Amino acid sequence: MSILFAASGFTASDWRPKIEAFAGGRAVAVHGEDDYDPAAIRYALVWKPPSGLLASLPKLEVAFNLGAGVDALAADPTLPDCPLVRAVEPDMTMRMTEWIVLQVLTHHRQALAYLDQQRSREWRDLDQPPASAVRVGMMGMGTLGSDAAEVLSRLGFQVAGWSRTPKTVDGVEMFSGDAGLDRFLRRTDILVVLLPLTDATRGILDAKLIGQLSQSNPLGPILINAGRGGLQNEADILAALKDGTLKGASLDVFNQEPLPATSPMWDAPNLILTPHVAAITDPVSTVGNIVAQMEAFEAGAPLKNVVDRGHGY
C-alpha cells in the first residue's frame, strides 16, 4: 500500500526524499510524475489537489492536508468520506505568530510613517501610545489565533478573542458567536483575523464589519488578515483605507492568488501586502508528524486534528 503526494504549488523534489526517508518502506508516488495504481493508495498527502483526485482512490483511508486550512478540499464536491486530517504543526504556529506580531508592531510603532519620514530626511517624533492602551481583537482563537493572542498579551496589548463556541482563555477577554461579535468589534483597535474560510465566515470582512471597529484610538482601526482571502471584501477594504475608516491594514491572503498585477490593492494606502507566506508548511516536521500519525492509526489509535466536515474546519 502506498502514499500519494499531490500538492500543487509545492516542490515535489523537496518533499519526496523526506517522505521516503520517513515512510518506513511504504511506496511513495508523486501525482503528475509517477505512474501508480489508484487502488494501491492508502494515504494521500495533499494541498489543493485536482478536484476528483481523492475520489479516484478506492482504498484511500486518510487524506492528510499539508496546510491548516481545508477550504480548498472542502470545495471539491466529490471529496470522499474518509477522515481528513489538517496540519497542526508547532513550526507553523511559530511562523504565524511571528508574522502577526510583526504586523501588529509595524502598525502600532508607526513603521510606515517613519519610513516615509526617512525617505524625506525628516527627523520628527510621532505620538506613541503604549501597548497597554491598544486593544487587539483576535478573530479565530484556534491553534494559531490563541498562540498569537498569548504573545501579544505578553507584549502588553489588551487582547480579546472571538470564536464560534464560548471558551475561557487566561489573560484574554473572550467573545463568541454572532451574539458576541458587535461588542468584540466595538472594543477593537487592531483586528487580527485567523479564521478558517467556511460558509459561515465567507465575506465577513466587509464595510459593515469595518464600520463596527472602534475609532477611538488615533492610530486605529487596523485590519490584519492571514486567514483566507475569501473572508474579505477587497473593494470595501480599499475604500476604507482610502477614506480613513481603516488607518492601515496587512493582508497575506487574497480572493485571487497570485494577486493580479492589475489589482488596485497593490497601490492601497497604508496597506502591507505579503504573498500568502505568513506561515508556510515545513516538509521535515510535517512529514515526520504525518508518518507518526499513520503508524499510530495502524496501531489502532484515533487520528488527531481531524476536520469536522459539518463545520468545515
Q: Which residues contact 285 (CB under 8 A, 6 or more apart)?
A: 89, 90, 91
How does strand 135-139 pair with strand 190-193? Answer: parallel
Tell me the β-bridge partners of 135: 158
How does strand 62-65 pair with strand 222-225? Answer: unpaired
Selected range binding ligand OXD among 20-28, 62-70, 108-116, 256-264, rule: CB under 6 A: 62-70
Q: Are 163 and 176 in contact (CB under 8 A)?
A: yes
Has 108 been annotated as catalytic?
Answer: no
Q: Are 56 and 277 in contact (CB under 8 A)?
A: no
Nearer to ligand NDP, 197 or 271 (CB): 197
Distance in angstroms (rounded) separating the CA atoms of residues 160 and 150: 10
Has 202 been annotated as catalytic?
Answer: no
Instruction: Write down the catalytic residue from 107, 108, 276, 309.
Output: 276
Q: Does 73 bind ligand NDP (CB under 6 A)?
A: no
C-alpha closest to that of 143 among 76, 99, 91: 91
Q: Given strand 41-47, what is the order of strands in its sheet?
A: 27-30, 2-7, 41-47, 62-65, 84-85
Nearer to ligand NDP, 220 or 230 (CB): 230
Under DSSP, the state recorded for 210 is: H
C-alpha closest to that of 195 among 126, 144, 148, 156: 144
Q: Does 221 bind ligand NDP (CB under 6 A)?
A: no
Q: Which residue in the set 38, 83, 142, 288 belongs to the binding site for ligand NDP (CB under 6 A)?
A: 142
Nearer to ligand OXD, 22 or 47 (CB): 47
Q: Which does 200 bind (CB under 5 to 8 A by kind): ligand NDP, ligand OXD, none?
A: ligand NDP
Q: Which does 141 bind (CB under 5 to 8 A by kind): ligand OXD, ligand NDP, none?
A: ligand NDP
Could you tell me where the beta strands, DSSP code E, fall in 188-239?
190-193, 222-225
Q: Does 230 bind ligand OXD (CB under 6 A)?
A: no
**Interacting positions 144-163 with ligand NDP (CB under 6 A):** 144-145, 162-163
Q: Does 165 bind ligand NDP (CB under 6 A)?
A: yes
Active centre residues (catalytic): 228, 276
- Chain positions contacting ligand NDP, by CB under 6 A: 67-69, 92, 96, 140-145, 162-165, 194-198, 200-201, 226-228, 252-253, 276, 278-279, 313
- Chain positions contacting ligand OXD, by CB under 6 A: 67-69, 87, 279, 281
